[in-house]
Amino acid sequence: MAGDGREVRRDGITAGMPSRRAVVRAGSAGASAGVAAMVASMLASMLAACGIRVELPAPTPGPPDRVPMPDEEAIVAAALRAQALAGMAHAVGDEPVATRHTAQAQVWAELLAAGGAPRPTATTTVSTSTALATPATATTATSASATGTSDSSAPASAGAPTTPPGPVRLGAAEAELPDPHSVRTHRDLHVAALAHDASTAALLGVAPQWPPADPLPPAAAVSLLGPTRAARYAVQVAAAHRPAIDRAPDLALDAALERRERALVAVAGSAAPAAPLGYTLPFAVRSPGDADRLVRTVLDSLVASGLDPLDALPPGSTTLLAVARLHAEAVTLAAGRGIAPAPFPGLVGR
């Protein structure tokens, strides 16, 4: 018997205490953390019975909480939106759009990885609720936006052409645009992605749903005025080098650029410079083929300048949407002449 009344076995171990073999077995490699903790507690009890006090080390603290990268939530939302739109485009067989959205998602994922953020998961909510709209709902919304009426119940005319439901649903999802005004980093990426999505929606026959935005400051409008006027001049030159019967596309493009110019002049106000009498063309135009190439060249330049107003906007500016809207307009005009939108239009060279 032990001094405290407990029975002592032949091997000298007091009843209720683990044997040496049990202790060694429990502490061997592969023992779970819970078993190891139990063994340590038992050993401490055994030593305490002998009058020896053991100080166990404090638990090792875990890694500190990760500090989110700047604008992480907005980047995650953009990545998930791009992934969702890529999936929709692939499902309806629009591989060019799917490829562009996949490229967008990859860029956002690389940004998150560089900032130490985890990859986004599909459980995060993104602004693509229209991806779940029924084809009938999407078709009605498209018809209303095209006619400029608010009566969504008005039936389409019997002879009107119908857009396939799949592309209409994709266009409706592209058209629902998030508001990026709160982002302070990578603003050019956010604005370029918005311009891409808005122009894609327009090309699919769905009017983009732009959130309310403040107007551009005069300096930002001035930065777009020069490229717009240069594009107008070049389009007029191109029209002059075509037969009269072939000039309609150029004249329509010139009219759209004129509306854009007037809007920019109105915003720029007294800061708007006077229009020059002419511009130096990038090459001589002697044939309709040269005219086609000239129009594509100046539209490329118009898209390339679309993000320039960002340089005049302070962080947190609420006019980012106004920049995105004008940029989307340029991208759509270029797409109408066969220039496919880039995943992030206007970023080359920035």
pLDDT at 145: 31
Q: How does residue 119 score in pLDDT terms, banded at 50, 70 and 90?
A: confident
Instruction: Average the pLDDT over 126-143 and give the result.
Output: 34
Nearest alpha carbon to residue 143 among 135, 158, 155, 132: 155
pLDDT at 56: 56
Instruction: Average the pLDDT over 112-137 and give the result.
Output: 58
pTM above 0.75, yes or no: no
Q: What average pLDDT is seen over the chain? A: 79
Q: How does residue 160 score in pLDDT terms, banded at 50, 70 and 90?
A: very low
Spatial contact of 170 and 88, defined as CB atoms under 8 Å apart: yes
Give the side-chain half-sphere CA count within 13 A for 286: 2
Q: What is the C-alpha separation between 217 and 211, in angstroms, rounded?
A: 18
Spatial contact of 105 and 82, defined as CB atoms under 8 Å apart: yes
pLDDT tens digits, residue range 54-104? Answer: 565 666 666 667 788 889 999 999 999 999 999 999 999 999 999 999 999
pLDDT tens digits, residue range 174-186? Answer: 999 998 888 889 9
pLDDT tens digits, residue range 192-215? Answer: 999 999 999 999 999 999 988 888
In the predicted structure, residue 22 carries a pLDDT above the cut 90: no
**Structural domains in the chain, sorted by start:** 1-62 (no CATH), 216-350 (1.20.1260.10)
pLDDT at 158: 34
> Which amino acid would we find at residue 82?
A
